[in-house]
Copies of this chain bind each other. A is one copy, B any other.
């Protein structure tokens, strides 16, 4: 195996380091986060850090760095508290990735790409029309992360929209039926196919009630 130490990371060329460390956590979620400013300018940006926090209440978190392209998303979040999370799928990968370009705040990425904004149920923030899973989100907590000056944003799912074909009888959402993407590193995209679902696990009998 190839080995790197934290001292090696510090000496690396910038692009090599961000490729390496961004790939190291494993596969990442691939989402477009939609917001709209108080002035009515919509914004959409790709994020790969949306993470499930809990089901009751239904909470998701994501990390952002207010000094990067995420600054427009963050500014809209701060003023409105509302955002949408939309799953990236095979047909929109290129346009979704393009939202990582640093547009001025008066430009809507919906104008600069073929992504189409949609509004539902009078929710303030725009949804991405073709996404097979879309969520209306309300911020509930914000945690500054001193270790690297990022912010953990935690939101509650107010409304969840799912393409009919993805939903199983037991509530499982089969992401592969929507050709949902996953991200590898900074710029790698894959469209996984579900391989297996495994059962709820209990300890093997021979390891239960053994001597303490």
Contact = CB atoms under 8 A, between A and B. Distances in A.
B23 A50 contact: no
Contacts of A29: 25-28
A167 B2 contact: yes
**Most interface-central of A29, A53, A65 (chain B CB within 10 A):** A53
User: Copy number of this protein in the oligomer?
Assistant: 2
Interface string A82-101: 00010100100110011111
Contacts of A30: 26-27
Given A63-B51, A141-B146, A198-B94, A161 B1 contact: yes
Interface size class of A (residues with CB under 8 A): 35 or more
A17 B55 contact: yes
Interface of A: 1-6, 9-10, 12, 15-31, 48-61, 63, 65, 85, 87, 90, 93-94, 97-104, 106-107, 111-112, 133-135, 140-141, 143, 145-148, 150, 152, 154, 156-164, 167-168, 170-176, 180-182, 184-204, 207, 210, 212
